[in-house]
């Protein structure tokens, strides 16, 4: 083979590889390595060493959203080139199912008006969890706020750490880590854990690095599987992030994390002393993010359309925008928008 032919062949391989990754036609990647241990000792150390309590002052109520600076927003806006947008929200689910015990209800109020009755927390409706959504055993939420249940009930909301803190909207760089496509499958089977090594392998292949102030959304293919096999008990059987990813989230200073369910793999697959007797329960990453990192979370995103558009453009970063209802509550229904 001549030198010129070798160069042409090498360039051809470089041109083909991105397209193969973009369309998810690469061979299936097999999980390698052993599952990291996460013990109660580890978690107690993380509570001490990784907490963001006090990082932005004793009165801080928005946690990692502080990482979305004006410069970060300008950088995110510069990502818009094609001017194409796609929603990351699931359409309103009105049919009861094993993963949807509280469907949305639309009540007609005549011909020109109606009322939507929403119970949005859970495992089906797309929503934002904010920083008072979970609390530790003694009733304390992010940054030491201890709500009085009787006051919250009487006043119809919290005095701190509410979703009202995001009233101006969330505007930042979004990154789609399409782990199903990356592994060459339509969806990850329930119970499939995602480790730091998987996230960093994705970074290496795409050339993108998760950085401070990013919103990271993880596609496992939940909705593709649901369309194929029907609803299942997603609360207890889900692909997702392993709890060992928690230090990585702090190290990268992720501002917001989203997934197609609450973000943890289920079952969690770690020391039962953490998931049973610890204050982190069966979703340790989800609770640690809210309580100790002060990281708002998108639950039950629908990333099918986003995955298709990102693959068609071979682009995995975008401008992400979202605006919750400005209430004093623990979260809000949400419709995040990705713009390329």
Q: What is the pLDDT of residues 274-327, one digit of tens each?
A: 887 677 889 999 999 999 999 999 999 999 999 999 999 999 999 999 999 999
DSSP state of 60: -
Rounded mean pLDDT, 152-157: 80
| 306 vs 316: CA distance, rounded Å | 9
| 215 vs 173: CA distance, rounded Å | 6
In contact, 312 and 24? CB cutoff 8 Å = no
**What's the confidence (pLDDT) of residue 106?**
75
Task: Show the tokens assigned to 38.
Answer: 């996460």
| 181 vs 68: CA distance, rounded Å | 28
Q: At 5, is the pLDDT very low, low, confident or very high (cuts 50, 70, 90)?
A: very low
Buried b (16+ CB within 10 A) or exposed e, 152-161: beeeebbebb
157-166, 240-249, 255-264: segment of lowest average pLDDT: 157-166
| 57 vs 186: CA distance, rounded Å | 44
DSSP state of 260: S
| 147 vs 139: CA distance, rounded Å | 7
Rounded to 5°, angle at Cα 93 from 268 and 313:
75
**What's the confidence (pLDDT) of residue 16?**
40
Q: Name the 3-class secondary structure at 191.
A: coil
- Indicate if the pLDDT at residue 139 is higher than 70: yes
Q: Using one digit for the tens of pLDDT, what is the confidence trace for 107-136?
A: 777 777 777 777 888 899 999 999 988 878
Average pLDDT over all residues of the chain: 88
The domains located in the chain, with CATH, are: 40-99+102-339 (3.50.30.50)
Task: Show the tokens assigned to 174.
Answer: 């979004």
| 287 vs 238: CA distance, rounded Å | 16
How far is the first Cα of the chain from the last one, in angstroms, to the nearest whole number?
42
**Region label for 290, one of left (φ > 0), alpha (ψ between -120 and 50) or beta (otherwise):** alpha
Rounded mean pLDDT, 325-338: 93
In contact, 124 and 275? CB cutoff 8 Å = no
Residues 6+ apart with CB under 8 A from 68: 170, 171, 172, 213, 255
**What's the confidence (pLDDT) of residue 31?**
52
* Residue bearing the bigger pLDDT, 101 or 66: 66
Residues 6+ apart with CB under 8 A from 235: 99, 123, 266
Other CB atoms within a 10 A radius of the CB of residue 325 amount to 16
Q: Using one digit for the tens of pLDDT, what is the confidence trace for 9-36?
A: 333 434 444 444 443 444 455 454 467 8
39-53, 140-154, 176-190: segment of lowest average pLDDT: 140-154
DSSP state of 29: P
Outline where 93-141 has alpha helix (H): none
| 328 vs 306: CA distance, rounded Å | 30
Rounded mean pLDDT, 98-102: 87
Q: Provide the CB-side half-sphere exposure for 223 (13 A, CA).
A: 22
* Residue bearing the bigger pLDDT, 211 or 139: 211
The DSSP element (H or E) to which 48 belongs, if any, is helix 40-49
Helices (runs of H) and strands (runs of E) counted in the chain: 11, 13
């Amino acid at each position: 083979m001549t030198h010129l032919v070798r160069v042409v062949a090498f360039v051809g391989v470089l041109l083909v590889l991105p397209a193969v990754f973009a369309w998810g036609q690469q061979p299936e990647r097999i999980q390698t390595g052993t599952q990291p241990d996460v013990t109660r000792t580890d978690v107690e150390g993380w509570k001490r060493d990784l907490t963001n309590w006090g990082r932005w002052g004793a009165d801080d109520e928005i946690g990692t959203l502080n990482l979305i600076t004006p410069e970060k927003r300008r950088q995110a806006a510069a990502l818009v080139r094609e001017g194409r947008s796609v929603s990351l929200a699931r359409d309103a689910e009105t049919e009861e199912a094993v993963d949807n015990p509280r469907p949305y209800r639309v009540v007609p109020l005549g011909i020109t008006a109606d009322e939507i009755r929403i119970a949005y927390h859970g495992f089906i409706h797309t929503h934002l969890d904010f920083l008072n959504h979970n609390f530790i055993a003694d009733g304390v939420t992010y940054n030491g706020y201890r709500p009085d249940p009787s006051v919250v009930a009487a006043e119809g909301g919290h005095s701190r750490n509410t979703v009202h803190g995001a009233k101006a909207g969330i505007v930042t760089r979004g990154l789609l880590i399409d782990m199903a496509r990356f592994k060459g499958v339509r969806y990850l089977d329930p119970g499939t854990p995602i480790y730091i090594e998987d996230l960093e392998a994705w970074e290496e292949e795409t050339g993108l690095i998760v950085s401070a102030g990013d919103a990271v959304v993880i596609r496992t293919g939940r909705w593709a599987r649901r369309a194929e096999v029907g609803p299942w008990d997603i609360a207890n059987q889900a692909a997702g992030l392993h709890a060992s990813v928690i230090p990585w989230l702090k190290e990268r200073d992720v501002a917001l994390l989203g997934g197609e369910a609450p973000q943890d793999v289920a079952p969690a697959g770690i020391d039962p002393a953490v998931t049973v007797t610890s204050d982190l329960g069966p979703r340790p990453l989800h609770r640690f993010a809210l309580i100790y990192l002060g990281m708002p979370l998108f639950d039950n995103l629908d990333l099918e359309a986003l995955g298709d558009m990102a693959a068609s453009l071979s682009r995995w970063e975008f401008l992400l925008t979202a605006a919750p209802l400005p209430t004093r509550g623990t979260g809000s229904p949400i419709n995040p928008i990705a713009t390329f």
